[in-house]
Structure 1
Amino acid sequence: MTGRYCVVGGGISGLVAAYRLRLAAGPDASITLFDPADRLGGVLRTERVGGQLVDVGAEAFIARRPEVPALLAELGLAGRQVGTTGVRPLIYSQRRLHAMPVGTLQGIPAQPSSLVGLVDDATIARIAGERSRPLAWHTGADPTVAELVGDRFGEQVVTRSVDPLLGGVYAGSSSTIGLRSALPTLAAALDRGARSLTDAVRDVLPPPTGGSVFGALDGGYDVLLEALVRRADVEWARVAVQRVERGTAGWNLVDDEGVRWPADAVVLAVPAPRLPRLIEGVAPTSAAAARRIPVASSALVILALPGGTPLPENSGVLVAAGEALHAKAMTLTSRKWGRRGNAELVRLSFGRFGDAVARNVGDDDLLAWACADLATVFGIDCDPVDCRVQRWIDALPQYGPGHAHLAAEVRAGLPPTLAVAGAYLDGIGVPACVASGSRAAAALTGAGVAR
């Protein structure tokens, strides 16, 4: 099979799409990848801090999802997958550290005992009595997570147990995240007729596996990115695409110099805010749907602290809503993944949906906030031997109520030989991005592209 394929966007979604196109179209197909950055990978980025390799974008993937392990196996990289050390995270709530509750689904308890010590006695009693209270649920409903959990279990469960977990994933809060996006299995259990939220959680709570929940790569995500680039065998055009136009036979991609690049089929693997401008002339309904997807920005501070800094034997700290800290989460990287050098690596995340922290707060202030938070939470002096500040602007799509319909609108309005991929469609994590890139490539290779 031959043809001219173009992929716009060199993040993980675009690189997987290019790799899948190469497999399907064969060595004679032309595949051009457009990304004006100085490197490929998007928000996957591996840097050296304190003499150690560390991912300064997405840090890990859910190991039980099949997409990343399967891709690694295809690329001959299965042996590079690593798991966590097994140490547990903590929650910072009410100015104290608490063990991460067990027996919960993203912080939603299956039994009252899970949250003893994290919430007050009145809330524990409310959780215990939830099964006896009638549940008004309409099949297909998509409330925010906070609306459902707050109504059934109370506000403390939302702010102290659920928000710390969801905020770390989406840079948002349970008051803006839709249930069907964040917890699709729970929504499905309620649709099937679960008589209470407790019953629904118990029905879908995954059994303990004994293995690592999270996976990463020895050598960082750069190992995966380099393999995808090599196997996709693309021509990398380091220019920005401004719009897609219909051509005499297929499409023209117009770059920032006005040059037109012809293509038979195109994958647009760009963040949601960039998509409308590219396609408004050829797919206006898709462009309008993409404009309705809000995004958040985040900033990461990675510190290399002197070896022997007295940090607890835990994987990190998730911060409850309303606490007097700047960070929303802290990862004790050397504890979570194992020490690989003399320095202790710590990663702090700042910025939530609706704030301007990642855009407006300077590097020096972020470093000062990081050190102040470490002193507050752990009582340690922060004297880093190395550090890195990394900002990801408009990089975190928000999965509000009805998000699946928005994603479907984006896809439904596209002509057959245009496809989309990215974190705003089917999930924000790396496995979902791998799946979206594969789906986009499959849509094109089955769309009658010239052979």
Structure 2
Amino acid sequence: MTSVAIVGAGISGLVAAHRLRRLLGENARIVIVDSAERIGGKLRTVDMGSGPVDVGAEAFIARRPEVPELLAELGLSDELVRPSSTARPLLRTGGALHSLPVGTLMGIPATSESVRSIVDDETCRRIDDERSRPLAWTPGDDAAVGALVSERFGPLVTARSVDPLLGGVYSGLSDTTSVRAALPTLAAALDGGASSLGEAVERARPTPAPGPVFGGLRRGYGVLLEALLASSRADQVHADVADLTRDSGGQWVIPGVGAVDGVLLAVPAPVASGLLVGVDRALGTELGALPLASSAVVALGYDACDLPENSGVLVATGELDSTGVPLRAKAFTLSSRKWPHLAERGGELVRVSFGRFGDSAIVDRPDDVLIDAARRDLQDVLGITDVPTTAFVQRWHGGLPQYRPGHVARIARIDAAAAAISRLELAGAYLHGVGVPACVATASAAALRLAAAL
């Protein structure tokens, strides 16, 4: 009997288990090991009274095929929902609300027209003159997004347009985020000879396509997670895996599981590092060098409140409230405006997000402090003074890996080192993308390689 252990019961581990069951057949022994009683890792769906609500990721890029195809495989296509086509996002910058700039690449404009409403005239002139200045870029180079944008367009573009978007995706800042890892199409345009950042953005922006950019699940990600677990028919072991060794016969040995033929590690990079440093010290060291950011989500439910007809608000870096104190929230999702299926339930739902890399102390504040901070910032930004009827605080310690300059090269070394270890595979958000579709793709590929090796 072929046996496989998957360490980690997040979306990556569960997708891998589902794939391996199909690839290895009914007689294979598949074991999922995780220290948590709850499956899902950094995805979680909770009941907010009016129904299930996601308090981790709530959406996925709909134009990627992985999630819709997975839902179809599992008979869950009816769960697929789309956001409102009329509710647009806002940006809080310079103490005021603005429409989120359009025509940018993750907030980076091609011309000043995209960001004219949120930056000063001097910055607009700098953007428009940028194409006349030589651009120092050698194919294969990498740089921090913020350093590149600030040098070419000025710091206001970075703080007011780029940071809010990157903060929402990575819980990081552009000054610590790699161009090559986070914006591969931009890096490709620069490698391909674009003579300016503006020209590179024009080349790198995706071709407009019909239909919504994002999708979600009617009953939340919990439905998908449970379906993947059921499909895998895997045994579950609740345990901390502190050691990974091989016996004299070449099988992997995992405490609490025993000897297995293959292992797939679907855990955060620091955890994988601890397990592999005794197997391959260089690989373990590379994994240990990948930093993580922590964040928190405060979900607030109201019987009624006067929310604007917008999908949410991103907050620029350095924003102050009406008393001159820095805003603590980095984003507000007006969920009952963004998602029609939530609006149908009645009441109003708002998600307030906190925490960026290097500034995550607020994540560990008590629940009442976080709820109070969410309400205060919501009042300052949107004028909402109503008292919520329900609230839920979800902390995500080490929730998102940081794609720093050099990340792509580091991951290439990690992939090569892992490939040299027989019947071992890695999966997770630190490898080839933080979004759910990327995790599905990476886990599926890892499962296919492991099945072939077995």
| Matching residue's letter, 2:301 | A
- Structure 2 CA distance for partners of 1:272 and 1:75, relative to 1, 3 Å: same
* Matched residue, 2:428: 422
Alignment pair present for 1:289 and 2:283: no
Alignment pair present for 1:385 and 2:416: no
Listed as ranges, the matches of 1:82-93 within 5 Å are 82-86=81-85, 87-93=87-93
* Matched residue, 1:306: 303
Listed as ranges, the matches of 1:365-380 within 5 Å are 365-380=369-384
TM-score computed with the length of structure 2 as normaliser: 0.95
Give 3-state SS (helix, strand or coil) of 2:246's partner.
strand
Alignment pair present for 1:402 and 2:403: no
Listed as ranges, the matches of 1:126-137 within 5 Å are 126-137=126-137
Give 3-state SS (helix, strand or coil) of 1:175's partner.
helix
8 Å contact from structure 2 (residues 163, 174) kept in 1: yes
- In 1, the alpha carbon distance for the partners of 2:426 and 2:362 equals 27
Give 3-state SS (helix, strand or coil) of 1:64's partner.
coil
Alignment pair present for 1:205 and 2:205: yes
* Matched residue, 1:330: 332
- In 2, the alpha carbon distance for the partners of 1:43 and 1:145 equals 26
Task: Give 1:359 shift.
Answer: 4.6
- In 2, the alpha carbon distance for the partners of 1:99 and 1:83 equals 21
- In 2, the alpha carbon distance for the partners of 1:149 and 1:231 equals 46
Task: Give 1:382 shift.
Answer: 3.4
* Matched residue, 1:81: 80
* Matched residue, 1:103: 103
- In 2, the alpha carbon distance for the partners of 1:9 and 1:253 equals 16
- In 2, the alpha carbon distance for the partners of 1:371 and 1:382 equals 9
* Matched residue, 2:443: 437
Flag structure 1 segments of 5+ consecutive residues without an equivalent: none
Task: Give 1:36 shift.
Answer: 2.4
8 Å contact from structure 2 (residues 290, 402) kept in 1: yes
Structure 1 stretch displaced more, 383-392 or 42-51: 42-51
8 Å contact from structure 1 (residues 285, 409) kept in 2: no
Task: Give 1:25 shift.
Answer: 0.6
- In 2, the alpha carbon distance for the partners of 1:219 and 1:98 equals 32
| Matching residue's letter, 2:51 | Q
How many percent identity over aligned positions? Answer: 52
Flag structure 2 segments of 5+ consecutive residues without an equivalent: 321-326
- In 1, the alpha carbon distance for the partners of 2:279 and 2:425 equals 12
* Matched residue, 2:38: 39
TM-score computed with the length of structure 1 as normaliser: 0.96
Give 3-state SS (helix, strand or coil) of 1:382's partner.
coil
Structure 1 stretch displaced more, 349-358 or 365-374: 349-358
- In 2, the alpha carbon distance for the partners of 1:211 and 1:88 equals 15
Render the CA deviation track for 1:78-130: whole Å, top value 9, x for unaligned: 22211110211001001100001110010011221111111011111111111
Task: Give 1:431 shift.
Answer: 0.8
| Matching residue's letter, 2:130 | E
- In 2, the alpha carbon distance for the partners of 1:341 and 1:103 equals 34
The alignment covers a number of residue pairs equal to 443
Task: Give 1:187 shift.
Answer: 0.3
8 Å contact from structure 1 (residues 358, 392) kept in 2: no
Give the alignment's Cα RMSD to 1 decimal.
1.3
- In 1, the alpha carbon distance for the partners of 2:49 and 2:17 equals 34
